Chain A
């Protein structure tokens, strides 16, 4: 899809495939994440594009798609004058749940989203965290197979954030929902996502599984050490290994096969180094993110 606002290209020939599961949609501010989401829902008209969502042609059947999608907007939005339970029930009714059933379902979802007695309070009086939970309940009330969550953990305290991520995991693992999670918070992505799409400057920069992205180009181990790491580092470099000292003092040794691990222990013993932990190293999501973003800036 392609979308531009006058001279500014918001999405430039974006092409992607989202697999079932939890997919993280990453990108710096203004990278086109929200435009992509709004385009998928037909809230924004694209200049060009075609595709399918849940087997339905997009954008021709966008209203049927909306029926099957739960959307949590990033913006602080609410229906003024209604209380929490009425808001959720109203969204249920708009999605086609009949009167009393919609209200029953709204209560059920409020329980799931941990909206207690606050559900009887006007939404205007809600805190940011409560509004996030309410928007989550509204997105979920019609039991959609696909959820689009735009910054769902923004404004939540650590406990609430963990609860929200736990709910997202439950929805995927236990109930088979597919989730597109747009966020800036990289630990959230690491915590719940299987796949990552990174948008930078309106273009898809990365689209891969988190497992593939985390795997270094060559086998690498991370060695956490008690005390001074310099002797071991010197020894490994002398023996032709590529070694980098991380900011926390640990060593990152690249190009090392599994059968060379005993040799590594041997060298540590010989240099009198106490190894606290030796683990396969993973690429940091932060590095991937910054690398992709800076690559675009350089262009």
Chain B
């Protein structure tokens, strides 16, 4: 017996509230994922794209005083963003378009580099979250403590949210802070106060359904590689199918039945293949959250789809866990 072994001793102390128990699940998950060096490297790399929108905000704020910068802003707004109207306004009264330019830059950051980073990151983290527990039967340990399946799912989902928040929400909020710091005075806060809320809203749109899908795949198998495969396949096939069908649709002349309703007037979403692609569906809703939805048609089908996916995804995870416990 080691000299420090005092035998069994009772423990008397104050226990933490039960509501905090999912936090321990999340904490343990984050600490396990954080040990992987590739992940730390990836997180750092995922921050690199922030340079472009940060430079965009910098250029916009200095365009009022620096003619060279003004030229850059006009070129960028007219070129890649295809908003010559905004470019004109930026020259005449930059304060008037500040809100739109900032949200456009932040949305672009959300939409392109961070969405791709999100797909990669979730595809590498989430599949192992539940499948490892199924393989090692760890759920017996979790649920021998006062933890419900819903709290377990919440704890596991929080792991994904933590890392996604690190590469999406925090950099976007940082961009906003950079904008405030570079702006001429603090009255800009009054003009742009809603942007942080929109960032949080867009983050929720991005995080919740994607986590639900990833965890759903993870809970469907005890082999995490199958879950990873299913995750990446969903994104790639959805994207390719959307591009292909949209291209085919453009090639074909529009057909209209005689005497039928004019769908254009009824504001129906003609981009009917969008719902096939998670990338484009998320993009539609995110753009709507930022108030910059350029596409025609209602956002509701996309929103409803994301909501259904989120609810169904978490429901399936819960069912899978309860089914495992019953064996």
* Chain A residues close to B by CB (< 8 Å): 5, 38, 41, 43-45, 63-64, 66-67, 69, 71, 73, 75-82, 86, 90-91, 93-98, 101, 105, 108-109, 111-112, 116, 138-140, 142-143, 167, 170-171, 174-175
Known: A44-B325, A143-B12. 16 other contacts (CB 8 A): A41-B144, A43-B326, A45-B326, A63-B146, A66-B144, A77-B138, A79-B141, A81-B132, A82-B28, A91-B145, A93-B24, A93-B27, A95-B15, A96-B17, A97-B11, A111-B6
Q: Of B18, B140, B325, which contacts A96 at CB under 8 A?
A: B18
A44-B325, A94-B21, A94-B145 known; A79-B136 Cβ under 8 A: yes
Q: Of B10, B133, B137, B325, which contacts A175 at CB under 8 A?
A: B10
- Chain A residues with Cβ below 8 Å from B24 are 90, 93-94
Closest B residue to A105 using CB positions? B11
- Chain B residues with Cβ below 8 Å from A80 are 132-133, 135-136, 138
Which B residues from 122 to 153 make CB contacts under 8 A with A?
132-133, 135-148
Residues B2 and A116 in contact, CB atoms below 8 Å apart: yes
Q: How far is the CB of A202 from chain B (nearest CB, A)?
A: 16
Residues A90 and B326 in contact, CB atoms below 8 Å apart: no
Docked Cα-Cα span, A98 to B27, in Å, equals 13
A116-B2, A170-B8 known; A95-B145 Cβ under 8 A: yes
- Chain B residues with Cβ below 8 Å from A95 are 15, 145-146
Q: List 27 A-B contacts (CB under 8 A).
A: A41-B143, A41-B144, A43-B325, A66-B144, A69-B144, A73-B144, A75-B137, A79-B28, A79-B136, A80-B132, A81-B35, A90-B28, A91-B141, A93-B27, A94-B21, A94-B142, A95-B145, A96-B15, A97-B13, A98-B13, A105-B11, A109-B8, A111-B6, A116-B2, A143-B11, A143-B12, A175-B10
Residues B146 and A67 in contact, CB atoms below 8 Å apart: yes
Residues B142 and A112 in contact, CB atoms below 8 Å apart: no
- Chain B residues with Cβ below 8 Å from A67 are 15, 145-146
* Chain B residues close to A by CB (< 8 Å): 2, 4-18, 21, 24-25, 27-28, 32, 35, 132-133, 135-148, 325-326
Docked Cα-Cα span, A81 to B14, in Å, equals 29
- Chain A residues with Cβ below 8 Å from B6 are 108, 111
- Chain A residues with Cβ below 8 Å from B132 are 80-81
- Chain A residues with Cβ below 8 Å from B143 are 41, 43, 66
8 closest A-B pairs by CB: A96-B15, A77-B137, A143-B11, A71-B144, A63-B146, A94-B145, A111-B5, A93-B24
Closest B residue to A69 using CB positions? B144
- Chain B residues with Cβ below 8 Å from A174 are 8
Residues A79 and B138 in contact, CB atoms below 8 Å apart: yes
- Chain A residues with Cβ below 8 Å from B35 are 81
- Chain A residues with Cβ below 8 Å from B32 are 81-82
Residues A175 and B8 in contact, CB atoms below 8 Å apart: yes
Q: How far is the CB of B158 from chain A (nearest CB, A)?
A: 15
Q: How far is the CB of A228 from chain B (nearest CB, A)?
A: 49
Q: How far is the CB of A192 from chain B (nearest CB, A)?
A: 15
Residues A142 and B11 in contact, CB atoms below 8 Å apart: yes
- Chain A residues with Cβ below 8 Å from B140 are 43, 71, 73, 75, 77
Closest B residue to A98 using CB positions? B16
Closest A residue to B322 using CB positions? A45
Docked Cα-Cα span, A101 to B21, in Å, equals 15
A45-B326, A98-B13 known; A66-B8 Cβ under 8 A: no
- Chain B residues with Cβ below 8 Å from A63 are 18, 146, 148
- Chain A residues with Cβ below 8 Å from B14 are 98
Q: How far is the CB of A40 from chain B (nearest CB, A)?
A: 11
A67-B146, A90-B24, A97-B15 known; A79-B133 Cβ under 8 A: yes
